[in-house]
Amino acid sequence: MHADVVLIRLLIPAFLISAGYLLKPISNDAWISAGAGLLIAICIIVFELRIRRATLKTLIGAAVGSILGILGAYLIGSLISRQPDQSIQPEDKTFLTLSLTFFMAYVGLMVGAAKGEYLDLSALGGIFSDKVARRDLKILDTSVIIDGRIADVAETGFLSGTLIIPQFILRELQQVADSPDSSKRQRGRRGLDMLNRLQNNSSLDIQIVETDFPSVREVDLKLIELGKQLDAVIVTNDFNLNKVSQLRGVSVLNINELANALKPVVLPGEAMRVFILKEGKEYNQGVAYLDDGTMVVVDNARRLIGKNADIAVTSVLQTTAGKMIFGRLWEEAENGHGDIHRTNGGSRRQMRESRSGPHPVRITDSEPITES
């Protein structure tokens, strides 16, 4: 299909150039006429490329509007042509008729194309179907741009469609980057760097829209209004924006929810090695973190702060903020339970009664954190 389209596009200029060279319609000069034919062919191809991007609603609206405009021009031209010859010269009549026809056709075309999106094609009983009417649009929030993980997701190829960056989001990023507070200034500059990284990704379609809502002051509400107007999805890390958007009927993609869904599954009884980083809230607890940021609370591990420890998972708690893992030291779990399991390459088998066997393998892939 693509080769056929290219062939037709090559035949059009060849035909018009040949016709101009042989017929010599301009000043009886073959080369000038051939050049005029080439110019007309280029205009036709450019117009065809531009109109292919329009939706079916836009094409129907433009066609109806231009027909109504030409019909109105014909009726007005009839009144002009019926005027006595003494009032309007024949040359003036011809000029007025042609000018009025072009003017009305142009106005009808532009107005019809602009208002064509309001057409309801379903009312025609399925005669017309605009399969590309719903575009895959995603609006980026300030929080998800500053976070930066959206760029990593995009580079893996899991992010499709068109990414919309509103102008008011760029202004907010600029204000954060110019903040006198060093922390905010660093976050704003990081967000601008992430935008440059997204724009340098050739596989992404990035569009900056100028649409604004002056009557709406809060940026979050502007995002919701833009999402409703474009029928787009909002990509954010903001928990409150997530909830408000869902209440307003706007779809949301939350990067934090995606990260939680991709975290490895940990089951009670599995073993892992963690680095006890600090003291927990409860008595004698130690707190560690996995490579993905998951908090691990270990009982009776306060004495091991700053050291690596082998633990057995006792329970897993899923919260809105993420996942929390609770465990106890391996020695305590070994002495108190005989059904502790360990993970080794995805298989699970019952732990031996003695520790003479191999040490449990951590479920994370990175090396144990050593004390600096």
**263-319: per-residue pLDDT in tens?**
777 888 888 889 998 988 888 899 999 877 788 999 988 888 988 988 888 888 877
Span 190-216, average pLDDT: 87
Q: DSSP string covering 260-329, please?
A: HHHSPP--TT-EEEEE--EE-SSTT-EEEE-TT--EEEEET-GGGTTSEEEEEEEEEEEETTEEEEEEEE
User: Within a 10 A sphere around the Cβ of 84, how many other Cβ atoms?
Assistant: 6
Assigned architecture for domain 263-350: Beta Barrel (2.40)
The CATH 3.40.50.1010 domain(s) of the chain lie at 137-260
Single pTM value for the model: 0.47
Mean pLDDT throughout 160-184? Answer: 89
- Most confident range (mean pLDDT) of 26-30, 172-176, 212-216 is 172-176
**β-strands 162-166, 252-254: how paired?**
unpaired
| Pairwise pLDDT comparison (52 vs 277), residue with the higher score | 277
Query: What residues contact residue 27 under an 8 Å CB cut-off, 6+ apart?
Result: 33
- Residue 174 to residue 168: CA distance in whole angstroms: 10
From-to residues of CATH 2.40.50.140 in the chain: 263-350
- pLDDT grade for 125, boundaries at 50, 70 and 90: low
pLDDT the model gives residue 59: 85
Q: For residue 29, what pLDDT is reported? A: 85
pLDDT value at position 372? 38
CA distance 76 to 277: 85
Mean pLDDT of 161-178: 90
Kindly calculate the radius of gyration of the chain based on its CA atoms and give it in whole angstroms: 34
231 pairs with which residues across the strands? none
Q: What is the pLDDT of residues 343-367, one digit of tens each?
A: 433 333 333 333 333 344 344 444 4
Question: Does domain 137-260 fall into CATH 3.40.50.1010?
Answer: yes
3-state DSSP assignment of residue 360: coil
Residue of 204, 219, 107, 111 lying closest to 153 (CA atoms):
204
